[in-house]
Structure 1
Amino acid sequence: MAALHYHCFLKLCEEWPVDKTKRGRDLGTYLQKRVAQAFWEGENTQVAEPEACNQMYQSLAQLHLNYYKHKYHCPRDTSFSGLSMKEYKLILSIGTLEEFQEMDKSVWQKLQEKFTPMRPEEKHKAWAWVLS
């Protein structure tokens, strides 16, 4: 039975798209990591709660197949903000988020980063120099 669960989750992970613009924040990548943790023994992993495992698989499969998108069809491809899906993908990409974080930094933080040594041993020397 555990082998069946394992193969179902593996198939789902293979089919789930991975968005390269969201390194480390993508649902497909997260799903792959969680399946690897849960089935760390592969087919030999013992599933403690098979019903909960089945329910989790069914829920993820419905999300993957856009079950709710088709069941509750929305006539427009926008949201409350009026932005399209393409615009949301651009905003949520890693590059844009890094630009926003850079804009939010104060002048003092930017100066600190510019003059802060990169290696840990240099940090100790810099603090010793400042304190002396």
Structure 2
Amino acid sequence: MSSSHRRFLQLLKNWPVDPSKQGRDLGQHIRDQVKIAFVNGEVFPGNQQKCDLEYLALKRISESQHAKQYPRTLKSSALGLSLEECSSLVSNDFLKTVEEEEQGIFKRTLNKIFKSKDSK
């Protein structure tokens, strides 16, 4: 049973955490779930077969097995954006900017007025 715990720990070494997606990062979520699943250390209290299947699925994702098996011919997305541009679009900073813009000019102006009154 302890081999499952070690396999997950080895898998997590290869799975980076993206600091630009703090609170929404898949790598951090998987780490948290592994901590919960192996709360008693190396002993997994649940269904070992399900644990093995989840490990294999995560391993395929981390190794980009399907991306290697079915390589893309184009280096852009459906929107015509590069990988770097797509990554910046899903960052927390960009999402904050979008939320502020969705408020509309009236709400933004009111927020600025109330913030300036609070700081006095």
**TM-score range for the pair, normalised by the shorter chain length:** 0.7 to 0.9
Q: Deviations over 1:73-108 (max 9, x none)?
A: 111121211111011011111111111111111345
Alignment match, 1:37: 36
Counterpart residue identity of residue 44, structure 2: T
- Structure 1 window deviating more from structure 2 (58-67 vs 75-84): it is 75-84
**Higher RCO (C-alpha under 8 Å, 6+ residues apart):** 2
Alignment match, 1:87: 85
Counterpart residue identity of residue 58, structure 1: L
**Partner Cα distance (1:81, 1:69) in 2:** 19
Q: Is the 8 A contact 2:18 2:25 kept in 1?
A: yes
Alignment match, 1:17: 16
Alignment match, 1:49: 47
The two structures, once aligned, show a CA RMSD in angstroms of 2.0
Paired residues in the alignment total: 116
**Partner Cα distance (1:15, 1:42) in 2:** 21
CA shift, 1:109, in A, is: 3.6
Counterpart residue identity of residue 96, structure 2: E
CA shift, 1:115, in A, is: 2.9
**Partner Cα distance (2:54, 2:44) in 1:** 17
**Partner Cα distance (2:21, 2:50) in 1:** 29
Q: Deviations over 1:40-91 (max 9, x none)?
A: 1111332x31111111100100100000000111111212111110110111
Q: Deviations over 1:5-64 (max 9, x none)?
A: 111111111220111111111111111011111111111332x31111111100100100
TM-score by length of 2: 0.85
Alignment match, 2:74: 76
- Structure 1 window deviating more from structure 2 (53-62 vs 98-107): it is 98-107
4+ residue stretches of structure 1 with deviation over 6 A?
none
In the alignment, structure 1 segments of 5+ residues that lack a partner are 119-132
**Partner Cα distance (2:34, 2:3) in 1:** 13
**Partner Cα distance (2:44, 2:54) in 1:** 17
